[in-house]
Amino acid sequence: MAHRRIIVQEIVSLDGFVADASGGLDFFEVVSDYSEVNQENLAIMETVDTLLLGAKTYQLFVDFWPTAEDEPVADVVNSTPKIVFSSTLGGAPWGRFDPARVVAGDPVEHVRRMQQESGGDVMVWGSISLVQSLLAAGLVDELQLRVLPIMLSSGRRLISEDSGEHRMALLQATPFNSGILALRYAVGQSA
């Protein structure tokens, strides 16, 4: 049986931060044109049939995506089934779309089981604590970084001290006209 791939996609500063010192994402606005990233994501999402989100990322997403009608990827984001890992949420509505499923148990064990099921790729956006747990458990197959042309000097890093060492094989590097550098790596492989 084929193994479902777990893909992590993150927007990061040039110096590796996924949030600023106050936990904010205002630095995303250093780039005003995400059209090339959107087009790439539309192609990537053709193989994805499940989105995984942590509770904080769910809150950010649900406040934006269900009503983001002018966003090119909104239809895909809104229609793809979602799982939210949370021990505190009782439900995860998604506007007029199907709600996300809330899983209160261990995300690592849940994702390990998902990998053995039939289905398409699984995408994780944001959700840093979840990503750190999945990396530490060796469950991430591909890491996609959207590197923004800004250095923050401090903030929250994608990788924690507990994430462990992971060798990467570069699959693709694409510079966009907006100044974003899109990087794709196979995790756990050497070039």
Strands (E), the chain: 6-13, 17-19, 48-54, 82-85, 92-94, 97-103, 121-125, 142-148, 156-157, 168-175, 181-187
Q: How many domains does one find in the chain? A: 1
Residue 1 lies in a domain: no
Binning pLDDT at 50, 70 and 90, where does residue 169 land?
very high
Residue type, 183: L
In a domain, 182, yes or no: yes
CA angle 37-40-42, nearest 5°?
110
User: Residue 139 falls within a domain, yes or no?
Assistant: yes
Instruction: List, for residues 121-149, the tens digit of each pLDDT value.
Output: 999 998 999 999 999 899 999 999 999 99
Query: Is residue 98 included in any domain, yes or no?
Result: yes
Is the residue at 30 inside a domain?
yes
Which tokens go with 44?
């990537």
Inside any domain, residue 121: yes
Find the range with the poorest average confidence among 2-11, 100-109, 143-152, 182-191: 182-191
Tokens of 168: 């990467």
Q: Which domain holds residue 40?
A: 6-187
**77 phi and psi angles, rounded to 5 deg:** -60, -45
Residue 133 DSSP SS3:
helix
- Residue 190 pLDDT greater than 60, yes or no: no
Instruction: Kindly state whether residue 86 falls inside one of the protein's structural domains.
Output: yes
CATH number at residue 149: 3.40.430.10
Cα distance between residue 153 and residue 85, in whole Å: 30
Question: Is the CA virtual torsion 39, 128, 155, 78 positive or negative?
Answer: positive
Q: CA-to-CA distance for 27 and 151, rounded, in angstroms?
A: 9
Q: Is residue 137 part of a domain?
A: yes
What digits encode the pLDDT tens for the residues 30-43? 999 999 999 999 99
pTM, two decimal places: 0.92
Helices (H) and strands (E) in the chain, counts: 5, 11
Coil, strand or helix: which one is 38?
helix
